[in-house]
Structure 1
Amino acid sequence: MFNYYLKLALISMRKSPILVFLMVFALAIGVAASMTTITVNYLSSKNPLPHKENNLFAVQLDNWSIEKSWREPDITPFHLTYIDANNLLSLGEKFKHSPIAQMDMPLESTSIDGEKKTFMAQAKSVSHDFFALFDVPFLYGQAWSKEDDKNSANLVVISEKTNNKFFSGANSVGKTLIYGGEVFTIIGVTKKRTFLPKLYATNVFMFAEPEDLYFPFSTQISLGWFNEGKSIYYCQKDKASDTYESLLQSECMWILFWAEFKDKAEKEQYQQFIDNYVSDQKALGRFPRPLDNRLTSIKTWFKYQNVTNKDTQILMWLAILFLCVCLFNTVGLMLAKFTGKSSEVALRRALGASKQSIFYQYLIESLCIGLCGGVLGMLLTFISLEYFKHIYTKLNDQVMTLNIELLLSGLLLSILATLIAGIYPTIKVSRTSACMQLRQK
């Protein structure tokens, strides 16, 4: 029977193409507007490591002035000083944790065809635990070891993109690169992956392109490097002077710190560890504020970083309201179309067709309109996202890319919305009285 009702629905749609086009187009515009904003909001706030929701935490120590909080309402600083990051590393060797600092310097190498290539590379200086914390997959090689961290080795892990640029995708482990004027040996190559938002970043940097390379944090310190132009330094009183040593000994905060725990017991152990550490530092005249050390979950970290800001959320709800308006228009158009079929329905009722069969016929017609509107709507969504990629060039393209899950969700949204919109017109036309319509004829 479904095939029969589908055939009747297609015949009915062909008889009034203008009305059908208006319904499909109105629905498509509403679906495109809502799915574009939903896509950006969903991909922006999606946890890239859902299996570590209860294991991975940002370490925050409240090393700020006594007069006021670092950021209202009472948010602890995101970054640590070098003193604290270094102490946590050396005192907490049994834990899995890593400092994370930003570097941007020239990277150069000779490609396999003999051409010398140079570009400004974005890098992160981290410890060997970083790759396990954030499940970084390797295409070639591996991460450096704990001993390499202690020895401040000139080792580097490069991205697949960097490997393709310099080595045409070949295994480059053991080869060398020059970064910031220093020679580094490649120990690993990471696989390209979808990893947004980047947990190990803050604010808008969570949606920046992946790093070109990673090297030991201890190596950055031994080389005396700091990213004066782009790194974030939060200094309360004694701002760092021009010397690197003064920066390291200052109370300026510029290093993110993340840790992973096997279970709740280990997390509590780490909380006690950082509380004891800060208490010891208080005795030295540091950390003037009341004890407020935090192990911040991924969900709370997203909230702190305004991953989905209020403007974006408001825009999403406005787009959903616009979809509702489009549905009301679709209801009106369907009602006009189905009402025009009253005589035809009355004749079928007189010939023995039941209300149920009439209902199913026009419900399937609504389903066809919804499917067409959904397909056109998702096409418009794709075009909209591609357009936004060219406008918001500083954001990673992955935030504005439709995946299978969102594509199917959009189609389902369109079909369900159309079925809901078509319920009233369908019920109304199925209740057409054969006697009244035929008597008018």
Structure 2
Amino acid sequence: MTRLTAPDLFEPGLFEGTGFYDVFAWYRANDPVSWQHPAGEPEGFWNVTRYHDVVSVHRDSTRMSSAKGMRLGSADRAVDAVANKMLIVADPPDHTRMKRVLNQPFSNEVLSRAEEYVQQVVADVVARAVRNPGPNLIAQLERIPTDVICAIMGLPRTDWEWIGRKTTEAFESPSEVRRITANGEIFKYFGDLVRENHKSGANAFISGLTAQNSGGARLTDQELVFNFSGILAGGNETTRFTLAALTLQLAEHPDQWARIVRGEAEPDVATEEALRWSAPGMHVLRTATEALRIGNVEVEPGQRVVTWIGSANRDAEVFDAPDTFDVGRTGNRHLSFGAGRHMCLGSRLARLEITAYLRVLRDMVRSMTLRGRPRYNGSNFTWGLNELPVVLHA
């Protein structure tokens, strides 16, 4: 009998390309819930790679905790400092209370009023990219989510560039020290802003959240500061990576671009495929609080469980031809925004921006040319392109 050798999900450089999708495919077929203890991690964890198993973990808020961290490589002291004070690392009842308040600025009613502004930001960025093509289109695309989320939060225009740069450092830097330092700078920035707003009331976004009293739910100043950082990351990093991945696929597959131009694939449908394909939030960590079963594996209390969104989004049991980028794919049940209680707070805003981008491209761009080698950031957490040498032609 041939012995199957498991590939290494933590091989250095694996996420600097797209070869990890073949590794995910191996695990889905041969070892869908596997134990691993890579070098550098204090303890081992279970890797979950199939779609339905990933969904079961995300929806189980009774036996799965987020308060002990939601990503590999996090420093324990940093997690402890924000646990149950920051939405992404909170469990009920704190998670329920915070989300009730933080959902308000991202409701359909509020975002419908922002739609015209989003469209204008996207049009300005695309027009500038067409007029002045640079060596890396991402340097221009990143303005879309940064400008939109900063405008929604009412932040001073002079601070937007700094905020975008610090958010990237806080969530993507390979250096733990730089990540912690950048997070500290962001926390201080918002701490000062919240304190000043108590005096002036000048920031409508902060004032609105401070005044929220839906069902008695309120946030402390510390919770506001911590969650503003999460809002920035959710509204910036992941959307930028999806816009970049979408652009690359359209440049590499002009037949798919032609379908959008001809109206055979609607922008809102193509948006869902861009989200499935890009999977910018590559993994999510949970910790078991009780014994439970995932697939054919018994998970013990205290053990960590890592769900791989990038793998679930390519599961052939759920998606037809999952390794094909199809702008007309319908019934697209991707997990790029997660599932269950921790469904991404900014999912509606992200969809609004990506759909607006596709509409503007359709109206302003004739074709796209790839003029170099795309490069990825190499992260197994917030994964995506950081160099995109694509030129947009008017």
TM-score of the aligned structures, taking structure 1 as reference length? 0.23
Q: Which has the higher strand share?
A: 1
- Larger Rg, first or second structure (1 or 2): 1
